[in-house]
Structures are given as C-alpha cells and as structure tokens.
Amino acid sequence: MFETRERAAEAKFVHERDAAFQAHAHRDRMFGRWAARLMGLRGPAIENYARSLMFSDVESVDDEALLARVRSDLAERDVAGPRAAEDRLRRKLERLNALARADLGG
C-alpha cells in the first residue's frame, strides 16, 4: 500500500514538473515573439528570435537572465523609452506566465 502511494506521489511530481516546464517554455516563446515585434523583426525572424530565447532560458532557467537578454537585444536595435522599460518587460512576462499556465490547463 505504501509503495502504491509513493509511486502515485512520484508520478504526480513528475507530471507537475513537466507541466511547469512546458508552461515556462510556452511563456518564453510568447515573450520572444512580443519582443521580436518590438524590435521590428518580421516573418520567420520573429519565430527564430522566440526560439532562441526559449532555448537560452532552458540553460539558465532564470527570469532575470531572460529579461537581461531581452533588454540588451532591444538596446542593440535602438528600442528605448517606455516601450523597453524594465517594469513593462516584467509586467509582460508576468502576464504571459499566467496566460501560458491557462493555455496548458494549469
């Protein structure tokens, strides 16, 4: 009986970790698409940029690193002012986090 409960708890843990990873990747992809449009990217360049953020965040799994990367990329493309403000980027990331969880049923 104890082993059955333990296996169920482990399976639930694995499922929750997988769902969290998927939501995180989905959020990063949406954030990348949004940021790419701010930078003036078009067509396949939008998706390429979004994927690059997704894969770079998998390596660091750190929102601060993700925000720093986007801030740097925006600055390189001369996107400044309110459109690239720190608080705007953070709010967008938070909103997309909630949306990603909702999209994936979490």
Report whether pLDDT(17) > 70: yes
pLDDT of the residue at 39: 95
**More confidently predicted of 12 and 36:** 36
28 within 8 A of 106, measured Cβ to Cβ: no
Tokens of 76: 């390189």
Report whether pLDDT(96) > 90: yes
**More confidently predicted of 15 and 29:** 29
pLDDT in tens, 37-89: 999 999 999 999 999 988 875 556 689 999 999 999 999 999 888 888 999 99
Chain centroid to Cα 27, Å, comes to: 4
pLDDT of the residue at 30: 96
pLDDT of the residue at 51: 94
Ordered structural domains, the chain, with CATH: 22-103 (1.10.790)
pLDDT of the residue at 9: 74
- Cα–Cα distances in Å, from 102 out to 10, 21, 92? 24, 14, 15
Question: What gap in Å lies between CA 2 and CA 64, rounded to an integer?
Answer: 41
Q: Which of 8-12, 20-24, 34-38 is predicted with the least confidence, judged by mean pLDDT?
A: 8-12
